[in-house]
Amino acid sequence: MPDPKPTITVRPDGPYRVEGGVPLEDADGKPFELKPAYSLCRCGHSANKPYCDATHKTVGFQGMETADRGVIANRRIAYRGDGITIYDDRSVCSHAGFCTGGLPSVFRARQKPWIDPAAASSEEIAAAVQRCPSGALSYALGEFVEPVEEKRPPAIRVTRDGPYAVVGAVELTLSDGSSVEARSRYTLCRCGGSKNKPFCDGTHGRIGFKNG
């Protein structure tokens, strides 16, 4: 019998239900006990983080998903350079800052256009883009249109004071049963405050969410 498909299902006003034996690790890369299935806190109030302890029921958590469900290719903006095209999908950015902090010559905060694909080599840009945890940034090489994505095994990292960083194209299903277009990287809100649920929009930083 084949191994179960790794999936994450958003429960209505409740946790993320993770199935398929997806490894979970803390912000330092230390693994939690590997479980075939588990529920992750989404409201930000569990006393047993990162796991859900049903506190969402007592705090009246409202977790309606509001993220754009459209086709990714229709949302992203292309910045074409010599041998590389950078794609930017602002609708899922978690504002982790790995782009502007890691390669500021290309990813220029508070400038227009904010991306300059001619300011660094293709290799430097590719490395910076792959560090984007939300998948807002991607890239294509040469004349190719489809983004290059590093193949990684399914895994979830509980980032320090921030979202769940998911890699490995783990299938994501919303609370109404609809599926989100597959992507190899995305970040899920765990502070409860995102205005772009289920994805992180950086609200954890503004509200001072603390949990390693």
Residues 137-156 pLDDT 10s: 999 999 888 999 888 999 99
Range of the domain at 90: 72-141
Residue 104 inside a domain? The answer is: yes
Over residues 111-120, the pLDDT tens digits come to: 999 999 999 9
Torsions phi, psi for 188 (to 5 deg): -110, 135
Percent of the chain, pLDDT > 70?
Answer: 99
What CATH number does residue 137 fall under? 3.30.70.20
Residue 156 inside a domain? The answer is: no
pLDDT of res. 23: 98
pLDDT of res. 120: 97
DSSP β-ladder status, 155-158 and 164-167: antiparallel
Residue 52 inside a domain? The answer is: no
Residue 124 inside a domain? The answer is: yes
pLDDT of res. 59: 96
Mean pLDDT to the nearest integer, 2-14: 92
Residue 192 inside a domain? The answer is: no
pLDDT of res. 212: 61
Residue 106 inside a domain? The answer is: yes
Map tokens 């940034």 to a residue.
137
Provide the mean pLDDT of the chain: 95
Run of H or E including 30: none
Number of domains in the chain: 1
Torsions phi, psi for 143 (to 5 deg): -90, 0
Mean pLDDT to the nearest integer, 80-91: 95
Residue 97 inside a domain? The answer is: yes
Percent of the chain, pLDDT > 90?
Answer: 90
Over residues 154-211, the pLDDT tens digits come to: 999 999 999 999 999 899 999 999 999 988 999 999 999 999 999 999 999 999 999 8
Instruction: Report how far residue 50's alpha carbon sits from residue 139's, in angstroms, rounded to the nearest whole number.
Output: 32
Residue 120 inside a domain? The answer is: yes
Q: Name the region of 121 (left: φ>0; alpha: ψ -120 to 50; beta: rest).
A: beta
pLDDT of res. 143: 85
pLDDT: which is higher, 3 or 45? 45
Run of H or E including 101: helix 98-102
